[in-house]
Structure 1
């Protein structure tokens, strides 16, 4: 069941499947462990590069689902090997990032079971650090369950900084104000909702077995999306009573920053889907204020085993 607090990330001890990946990154530490976190940083090869900071939070999901550490490494590899958008540098951190990493980031990407700043040690300070980044116009992106908040994370009316930073969130069933829903659908069809938006470039409607969250929370007035929030992808959910549900969205904030959320993939194997992967990478690039190529971000289909998942 997905609506539960997370555990810890596995130790990723399967060294043999990482041989290819080691060419692009270094080791990592368990999220939230009482040891210094490590930043995985690219070499400085261009002047004033855009830098993406990926933060991997804790996860207690079984192998093949979430795979947040492997997902973080896969995103790093994909961003650094975009065929039509070179020069983007990426850092991957398990645990809370250092001030140096935060200060150099153009956007910060979260992947984990629930919103990592609230699950990692010192959540109050984490949110203060994040607020400082947002105030400078840094982007923010949440992948799948990293969009999620527990009832204890939010005020009784549902307020949380993530609502302003990203435009909405997945409200865990423990929330007092709203309940979002998580179900695995054998065939969920994801369709572009705003074809003219840069994030929509180069990907088409696709269908996959996954867990796109629905009835996500966007605000107090009838759960209507704010004028600054744009639905990027929708799905007709649930099948027994279908209506258009927003499963990816973005916002342009008054501080000049940008937020993007996508409530997939639940299954690690779905990173192979070119349309889903392009949707996600487009969103990250856009959040960093990089012009999305006219045909969307182009990458080779990754070999998922290279990024040391517990299972594919």
Structure 2
């Protein structure tokens, strides 16, 4: 017989700091609202609340598993609006219902058909971690959602050798892209590449080397607490304002740190280092290196197809 709560006793979440209590109350409202709606067969939280890291700035992130015969007609906005008034609600670029509540708390709600949606959880391994799966499951009328969440209770760190090699190669490729863009005089684009593409790769490699992979998917999260001060200071040298000189300095510092991290990984795990290419990239990033240090034309179609 279907049941409105998991068959096990629900594990209470870890005590939250006082400034996270509004999120806690909204989550309880979500639980009650979902239990009262027979179309909703399961609710799974993800994000900082399930990791015990929620605070006043945390979002409410949830997957709503709706009966397959009801999912097409299910109005996600109307459902979420029962929790609190909304200032904004729209389908974001990833196809997820994104909302802003009246107290400026953000939220993301995936609406999925129960069967296929719960089956998909198995594909999240290595991307999502539920250290306390029973706390993440707000509603489970069949028991299937809890069972699926339990499969992601153990955190599996990334495999060092394969991951370090991938990151080493990615950093070389994207930094060469940066050199081309910088030489073209597109300083805003170079600035964006440094911060949006290269920095996360560097931080992942740094975390891998320091054995600090808990925040792997968002490597800048809790950076100041997770990594040694020297690494944080080094990361700071790879950032800067949007001026041609500042971007050039940050790019050179960034590549220097990338090479040091890659060399450290090679010493530890035997990963390959394309040393000749690394030197050429350094030359291309040097002042005046754009014209002579790059072997392909700056205006080539291949470069125009880059990000």
TM-score for the superposition, normalised by structure 1: 0.27
Which is strand-richer, 1 or 2?
1
TM-score for the superposition, normalised by structure 2: 0.27
Choose 1 or 2 for highest CA Rg. Answer: 2
Choose between structure 1 and 2 for higher RCO, CA contacts under 8 A separated by at least 6 residues: 1
